[in-house]
Structure 1
Amino acid sequence: MLSDADRAFLTKYTGKAPGNDALWFEALTHGSTGEKRTYERLEFLGDRVLGLAIAEWLHDVSPDDEGRLSQRLNALVSRNTCAAMAREMGLGPHIRLGKQARDDGGQESDNILGDVVEALIGACFVESGWEAARSMVRSLWADAMEGKAGKRKHPKSALQEWAAGNKRRMPEYQLVERTGPDHALRFTVEVTVHGVGAVQATSSSKQDAETLAAEEFMEKYA
């Protein structure tokens, strides 16, 4: 069921060759395919495994108080951070999407990318247990945890961390307008942080518009 490329990808990021193809196939499958088993249940599990792995890691390495630890945890396990991780991994081409979801840019959707990363963590936990899943998380999140100098944050991740650090609600993105013919679509997105402000941006993809809006929000308000 898994392609050779899928198997090589999973081996690289989980530390061992996948043993249960059906499990990993499920973790990579979006509901738009019409398949009965999709990543949603594994994402539910992986979200909890990721949260525990990061919380344990922060407790081990950081002297911060509970409030600051919570802020860092929220930023590190956010959908934006998970999506940024997926992009670094090159996950998009391995996700199984229906035609409409592909045409709508599903391989670049923060929601889908973030969910599938968590589903892969969940699958690792199911197949190999806590130690393997924790090792996977620590390997993937090493740069994010260390905050290495010179590593520019994705604008959406930067805005997420700014909001958490300033005790604001998480940014909310809304599609305001979709215009143009299918071959030249334009998307206008608005990002809002409650109590701070809102910014709109337009681009040729919804994902790019969200990124531009986050970047402009940071320039205007941060």
Structure 2
Amino acid sequence: MKVSADITAFEQRLGHQFAHPEILLRALTHSSISAPMRPDNQRLEFLGDRVLGLVMAEALFEADKAASEGQLAPRFNALVRKETCADVAREVGLGDVLKLGRSEMMSGGRRKEALLADAMEAVIAAVYRDGGFDAARSLVRRLWAARIDQVEDDARDPKTALQEWAQARRQQPPRYVEVARSGPDHAPVFTIEARLQSGEAERATAPAKRQAEQAAAKALLQRLEAEDD
């Protein structure tokens, strides 16, 4: 099966050339453009989520042989969460090759965090189906390598950690306020401020609200913890 130049370039960025490129094309097909003769990537997403989980669990298990389950669990969650999958998808330019319906394309689907994360999981499953578990493991280990090395710094979910900080000091949970929005409707950029009852606040800007909230929470928590030292 002959594939387009952009798909070939995407294979090169992934580091896996498909023996059965139709599997990759299915992984890149969103439900907004699916049809009986063109199935979408939802089943592959289901499988890819499990493959990613196994590879990450194995990588963490091998990387720190002294870590307890309680230490490994938050590291695992940081590596497989949707935000991380979407970040990896952006790094390999997955959004550029997604097959989307017109309405999804017009609403900025190529940049949507949830859509990118789901497609990244589907691509992992496609590699698994095409080349076996070793190929999928190699792909994930390579694309996630820096994150695996640095996972201790990112293991805590910033919003959860900030809420725990506030609760420990008998404050109300943090509030997240949208203070600005820019860009076109199909590619908005949000500025979110994380605010504590005591008055401390930090802002962050990102193309998704949840991403901006996480970044604002992380910035505020880092400042508060530095002040506590």
TM-score, normalised relative to structure 1: 0.74
Q: CA deviation at 1:14?
A: 3.8
Q: Quickly say closer, same or farther: Cα 1:202–1:81, change in 2 above 3 A.
A: closer
Q: By how many angstroms is 1:112 displaced?
A: 0.8
Structure 2 letter corresponding to 1:5: D
Cα deviation for residue 189 of structure 1 reads 8.4
Please name the residue that 1:171 is paired with: none
| CA RMSD, Structure 1 to Structure 2 (Å) | 3.7
Structure 1 residues 101 and 219, CA gap change in structure 2 (3 angstroms): same
Within 5 A, what are the aligned runs for 1:146-161? 146-147=149-150, 161=157
Going from structure 1 to structure 2, the CA distance change for 1:219 and 1:164 (only over 3 Å counts) comes to closer
The residue that corresponds to 1:139 in the other structure is 142
| 1:70/1:7 CA distance change after superposition, 3 Å | same
Tell whether the 8 Å contact from 2:100 to 2:109 is kept in structure 1 after alignment.
yes
Post-superposition offset of 1:20 = 1.4
Q: Note the residue ranges of structure 2 that are not aligned, 5 or more in a row.
A: 165-175, 195-200, 223-229
How far off is 1:104 after superposition?
Answer: 1.3
1:162 matched to which residue of 2?
Answer: 158
Mapping of 1:68-107 within 5 angstroms?
Answer: 68-107=71-110
Question: d(CA) in 2 for partners of 1:40 and 1:73?
Answer: 23
Any gaps of 5 or more consecutive residues in structure 1?
169-173, 193-198
What is the correspondence of 1:1-150 to structure 2 with a 5 Å cutoff?
A: 2-15=3-16, 17-36=17-36, 37-62=39-64, 63-147=66-150
- Would you say how many aligned residue pairs link Structure 1 and Structure 2? 200
How many percent of aligned residue pairs carry the same amino acid? 30
Which structure is larger by alpha-carbon Rg, 1 or 2? Answer: 2
Aligned 8 A contact 1:188 1:201 in 2? no
**Distance in 2 separating the partners of 1:207 and 1:107:** 12
State the TM-score, normalizing by the size of structure 2.
0.72
List structure 1 runs of 4+ shifted beyond 2 angstroms: 158-168, 182-192, 199-203, 206-222
Instruction: State the Cα distance separating 1:3 from its structure 2 match.
Output: 1.3
Kindly state the Cα deviation for residue 10 of structure 1 after the two structures are TM-superposed.
1.5
